[in-house]
Amino acid sequence: FKDGDLKNQKIVITAGPTIEPLDPVRYMTNFSSGKMGYALAEEAKKRGGEVVLITGPTNIEPPTGIKLVKINTTREMLSAVEAEFDDCQVLIKAAAPLDYRPNEVSNSKIKKNNDVLEMKFIKNPDIAKHFGEMKKSQIMVGFAAETENIIEYAKGKMERKNFDFIVANDVLKEGAGFKADTNIVTIIDRGGEVENYPLMEKNKLANIILDKVVELLIKS
Ligand code: PMT
């Protein structure tokens, strides 16, 4: 890759989990550490991009020289992307937003009176799908965290959410997906190309993803 090949490009990256409160002292979330999204932000910045990193709670030191937007819930992540979307050239959705939230958030601490606790959950908005429907010239990159039928499910997600390409990780593989410093992925694009990548550092993978973004920006 070339230094500065993302100059003058506004790149919005989502990272990390979202969290959804259950009551004043509890919340639900998932195992996303934010490492994949932060690696993308760091490398995009090094390549000259104007980077906006929209992130759920993580323990990672953010890269300097970028705009950092901290959110908690999936709906907050949607609003934060909304505020940045119109004038961006690239949206990369590396976050793992919670698909459901509790139907009601209890105002007081839920008591452990019953052996079985039943709760109802309602669907959160699908951020990627929403912006996939709205996009004009933006390049959109999605991720898919799968445990089976990886290629088939990832292709379906790419089409439904209108991604230009999708990065699928088998989250059951050692060294892939959530929490690790490394990832093992398959990248699938709209032309039907399917490329398998070996285990590598998330920063190295970030540059492979950004190379593909640059190729698409040149074509557009
Ligand atoms: O954060 P790390 O620990 O480094 O882990 C990285 C990762 C495994 C979280 C990352 O590589 C990854 O795969 N992110 C996507 C996880 C996910 O939510 O996958 P999904 O298959 O449920 O969603 C597909 C796509 O839609 C994703 O781009 C996701 O960001 C997006 N999505 C999902 C749900 C939702 N409500 N809104 C969304 O925009």
pLDDT tens digits, 158-211: 999 999 999 999 899 999 999 999 999 999 999 999 999 999 999 999 999 999
Q: Residue type at 131?
A: F
| Class at the top of the CATH hierarchy for domain 10-106+121-219 | alpha beta
Q: What is the mean pLDDT of the chain?
A: 96
Crossing angle of helices 74-85 and 127-134, in 10° steps, is: 20
Cβ of 93 below 6 Å from ligand 1: yes
For residues 8-29, give the mean pLDDT. 97
pLDDT at 2: 67
> Is 207 noted as a catalytic residue in this protein?
no
pLDDT at 3 over 90: no
CA of 203 to the centre of ligand 1 (A): 17
Which residue in 8, 30, 59, 124 is the catalytic one? 30
User: CA 208 to CA 219: how far, in whole Å?
Assistant: 17
- Which ligand 1 atom is at minimum distance from the Cα of 153? 21
Render pLDDT for 105-151 as a digit per residue (tens, 0 to 9): 999 999 988 899 999 999 999 999 999 999 999 999 999 999 999 99
User: CA 76 to CA 54: how far, in whole Å?
Assistant: 10
Mark the binding-site residues for CTP, compressed into ranges: 99, 109, 143, 157, 161
Q: What is the pTM of this model?
A: 0.97
pLDDT at 1: 55
